[in-house]
């Protein structure tokens, strides 16, 4: 699953997901709107959360996640949490 996030000019985050087979062919795509802050790490974390929701809902196994946020990728690899004033993101 390729995951990305985009901050619109009105302060909303859009997360986008593309689910592909191992040969690279697309299976499906989804987008979701999030209200939130202007924090890029938050937007990318929301996108990853959407991808995890999709994996759970579809009962998918052996999934590779692709993200372009090194902060989120490192946090997951190191099992770290990104703390915000209201709680943890990852």
Instruction: Give the number of domains in the chain.
Output: 1
User: How far apart, in whole angstroms, are the C-alpha atoms of residue 18 and residue 38?
Assistant: 23
Kindly report the CATH number assigned to the domain that includes residue 80.
3.30.160
5-54, pLDDT tens digit by residue?
A: 998 888 888 999 999 999 999 999 999 999 877 788 888 988 998 998 88
User: How far apart, in whole angstroms, are the C-alpha atoms of residue 61 and residue 12?
Assistant: 31
> Could you tell me the residue range of the domain that residue 37 belongs to?
2-88
72-82, pLDDT tens digit by residue?
A: 888 888 876 65
Q: Is the dihedral of CA 21, 46, 43, 74 positive or negative?
A: negative
Contacts of 10 (CB under 8 A, 6+ apart): none
């Amino acid at each position: 699953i390729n995951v990305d996030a985009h901050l619109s000019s009105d302060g909303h985050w859009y997360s986008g997901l593309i689910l592909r087979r191992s040969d690279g062919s697309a299976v499906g795509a989804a987008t979701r709107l999030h209200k939130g802050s202007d924090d890029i790490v938050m937007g990318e974390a929301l996108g990853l959360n959407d991808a995890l929701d999709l994996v759970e809902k579809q009962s998918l196994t052996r999934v590779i996640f692709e993200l372009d946020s090194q902060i989120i990728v490192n946090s997951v690899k190191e099992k770290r949490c990104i703390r915000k004033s209201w709680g943890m993101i990852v």
